[in-house]
A and B are shown apart, each in its own frame.
Chain A
Amino acid sequence: MNKKSSKTSSSNENYSHLELFNLGKIFFKEKKFIDFRSKGNRSGFEAIKDINLKIEKNTFVSIIGPSGCGKSTLLNLIAGLQAPTSGKIVIDGQAIKGPGPDRGVIFQNYALMPWLTTIQNIEFALNTVFPAKTKADVKERARKYLRMVGLEKASNKFPKELSGGMKQRVAIARALSINPNMLLMDEPFGALDALTRSYLQDELLSIWRKNKVTVVLITHSIEEALLLSDKIVLMSSGPSAIISEEISVDLERPRDREKIEQDPKYLKIKMRLEKHLLRETRAVEEVT
């Protein structure tokens, strides 16, 4: 945790944790060896364009948008898994060139390696990011993060023996174990039942409070975004999706999921989000 304190001491510079400048991504069709249609189809598909966004250190930001608008694309760009077609991504004042262990990524379908046990999945991440660490160190650290998500007992189980919620907790532990300063999550709770989801949301919040990480969360759920975020970023419908609005959620923390729904501020933002999503989804439907 020393790393964190040194980070905060240098964080009063005048840049945000994450800055996106005119970010755009066009998917070009892969060239086939023999492609008869190639003449007409050179243009490609513009998923997102002109994305400008600033995210402050240790804040919790959610991204919401209609299905297929390019949320995952945006997250993959920030993670460095894909290269943008235009624009740039700046983290702590430095343009990124690719993926890095400063960003922990949590994928929608858990993405655990099925041939590794729970603890081995975390050890894989640790060994990759900290090759100098000893075996015992790695094991100890992996245990610590499994404990953190309450899965110490399942450490020798294989992913196929775990429930969806447990798998997602392993994925969270894996992403956190490398001590990232940014957590990128792509609809992490989308596939879970309501109870497990709210349980994991609370867990995520407490982890976020304790670990001081910047979280970028992609979600379909307005309630989830409102419950968790400091800021909600609304994306327009694709193709060529843009950021249509940024909404600050200045609701007091800790937020109680029962009481919050009576808060007039909450209701106001919720209505605004619903209206936006409805409008953008309708736009999608009219296009297709």
Chain B
Amino acid sequence: MNKAISTRLTFAVAILSLLIFIILWQVIAQQGLLVKNFPGSFKTIGSLIWWVSDPFFDNGPNDLGIGTNLLISLRRVLIGYSLAVLVAVPLGVLMGMSKLAQSSLNPYVQLLKPVSPLAWLPVGLFVFRNSEITGIFVIFITSIWPTLINTAFGVASINPDYLRVSKSLGASKSTTIRRVILPAIMPNILAGMRISMGTAWLVIVAAEMLLGTGIGYFIWNEWNNLSLENIFVAIIIIGFTGFILDQFFGFLQDKFDYSI
């Protein structure tokens, strides 16, 4: 009973704060308190409704529906990200298990990890001569590090009891990896994948400003149109999509939480 009341209360507070925010935004914009011609919340909500009511039109690369652009971005992220996970998990397991792999690969990881993935964009364009593949490539580079590092850390810090049980039963290396190590480090892999996805979703927007098409290019295009309210629409959509993606991984992490 108490819980029901408190959830209802939180909901009411959230709605109230949203209303206050929208009204303040509208007042500030209308009075020109920030800069002249800054779009108010009413105008932005109007555009949002306009874009969302017909999201999938296609009138050429500079005039795509916001849904179409979103799907283009999501597709690039999903392909680059999946490839990254497919590389990062086995490589991470290898690094976690073998001192040799660890010491030979770690310097590269440590050196490349802090570099903004956008630095790879010209490299991609030069090598692939194709903006689509370059986008996927940049997302691949973005996504690989967190998953790789978390996986390797998970293997290195796995409860030695599990390995001892497996060893005492005479399990082969491949059985141990498949039936013990991988399930044991699932929480680490998912934590890495969640961070990777978050970063990939940040980077795709920036990358697409330079690549053409996609939600990032949509922003760039609307900047050229000087349509700030459409940029706000994109920000809202990007934020919402990122939130959904993150929640999905949160859900998976809960599923694979072995702790008490």
Give residues in A with beta carbon < 8 Å to B.
33, 79-81, 98-101, 103-105, 107, 109, 111, 113-116, 124-125, 128-129, 160, 178
Can you report 5 residue pairs joining A to B where beta carbons are below 8 Å apart?
A: A33-B103, A81-B167, A98-B170, A104-B168, A160-B258
Known: A81-B164, A111-B161, A111-B162. A178 touches B169 (CB 8 A): yes
The answer to the question of B186 belonging to the interface, with a C-beta cut-off of 8 Å to chain A, is yes
Q: State the CA gap A114–B186 with chains docked (Å).
A: 12
CB B140 to nearest CB in A, in angstroms, measures: 29
Main secondary structure of the interface of B (DSSP, over half): helix
Of the listed stretches B108-116, B118-126, B175-183, name the one at the interface; the rest are far from the partner chain.
B175-183
Residue of A nearest to B171 (CB): A128
- Excluding A80-B168, A99-B170, A128-B179, 15 further A-B contacts by CB distance (< 8 Å) are A79-B168, A81-B167, A81-B168, A99-B167, A101-B169, A101-B170, A103-B168, A104-B168, A105-B168, A107-B164, A113-B180, A114-B258, A115-B186, A125-B169, A129-B170
The answer to the question of B166 belonging to the interface, with a C-beta cut-off of 8 Å to chain A, is yes
CB A80 to nearest CB in B, in angstroms, measures: 7
CB B92 to nearest CB in A, in angstroms, measures: 18
Give residues in B with beta carbon < 8 Å to A.
103, 161-162, 164-171, 175, 179-180, 183-184, 186, 256, 258-260
Count: A-B pairs, CB below 8 Å: 55
List residues of chain B with CB within 8 A of the CB of A124: 179
CB A183 to nearest CB in B, in angstroms, measures: 12
The interface centre, meaning the residue of A98, A99, A115, A160 with most chain B CB atoms within 10 A of its CB, is: A115
Verify A128–B166 contact, CB threshold 8 A: yes
Verify A128–B175 contact, CB threshold 8 A: yes
CB B185 to nearest CB in A, in angstroms, measures: 10
Known: A114-B258, A115-B186, A115-B258. A128 touches B162 (CB 8 A): no
CB B104 to nearest CB in A, in angstroms, measures: 11
List residues of chain B with CB within 8 A of the CB of A105: 164-165, 168
Residue of B nearest to A160 (CB): B260
Residue of A nearest to B175 (CB): A128
CB B259 to nearest CB in A, in angstroms, measures: 7
Q: State the CA gap A46–B87 with chains docked (Å).
A: 42
Verify A109–B168 contact, CB threshold 8 A: no
Q: State the CA gap A113–B165 with chains docked (Å).
A: 9
Residue of A nearest to B165 (CB): A111
CB A163 to nearest CB in B, in angstroms, measures: 12
List residues of chain A with CB within 8 A of the CB of B183: 113, 115-116
Verify B184–A113 contact, CB threshold 8 A: yes
List residues of chain A with CB within 8 A of the CB of B184: 113, 115
List residues of chain A with CB within 8 A of the CB of B170: 98-101, 128-129
List residues of chain A with CB within 8 A of the CB of B171: 128
List residues of chain A with CB within 8 A of the CB of B175: 128
Q: State the CA gap A128–B258 with chains docked (Å).
A: 23
Verify A111–B164 contact, CB threshold 8 A: yes
Q: Which of B162, B168, B180 is close to A99, meaning CB atoms less than 8 Å apart? A: B168
Residue of A nearest to B164 (CB): A81
List residues of chain B with CB within 8 A of the CB of A178: 169
Residue of B nearest to A114 (CB): B258
Q: State the CA gap A43–B256 with chains docked (Å).
A: 43
